Amino acid sequence: MLSHRNIPFVFHTAHAARPLTQWPGAPIVAKPASAAAIVGALKYVLSADNRDIIPVPPSREGNAKVLDQHILDGEERLKRIRGVITRLAAGGFDTSAAENLLAIMTKTLDHLRDHRNFMAP
């Protein structure tokens, strides 16, 4: 329900190693966590653009134009997330959850690029 209503959220779980394929844009804070890590994750989801927290899932189409657009959107999303992380870090907040999310999203974008290169004539 939160995703459908574009309400940002954070997972606080003892199962942080499990990938959350249904909510790829939600930060995960592993238990046990410091108050600073939880507050940092909450600050991140409350200050980032909703498109960066709950991204629109890519279509299943494999054509080059669709992949190119997803790659461009992903690059823009990573740029915005880096900006939010920089602002939060400057404010002294724990940005570890956002940095982990950024790493996962960067890896996903790299996979999209690899797939796109594979499709190139």
Listing DSSP states for 36-86 in one string gives: HHHHHHHHHHHHS-HHHHSPPPPPS---HHHHHHHHHHHHHHHHHHHHHHH
Mean pLDDT over 90-108 rounds to 89
Higher pLDDT, 23 or 27: 27
Is the confidence at residue 64, as pLDDT, over 70?
Answer: yes
Is 67 a member of any domain?
yes
Going 3 to 40 to 81 to 24, the CA torsion angle's sign is negative
Mean pLDDT, range 43-58, rounded to an integer: 67
pTM to 2 decimal places: 0.68
Instruction: Report pLDDT for 94.
Output: 92
Q: Fill in the amino acid letter for 12.
A: H
Tally of domains within the chain: 1
Average confidence (pLDDT) over 72-98: 90
In a domain, 3, yes or no: no
The reply to whether 77 falls in a domain is yes
The Cα–Cα gap between 110 and 55 comes to 16
47 strand-pairing partners:
none
Rg of the chain over Cα atoms, rounded to whole angstroms, equals: 15
Range of the domain at 97: 11-119
Specify if 6 maps to a domain: no
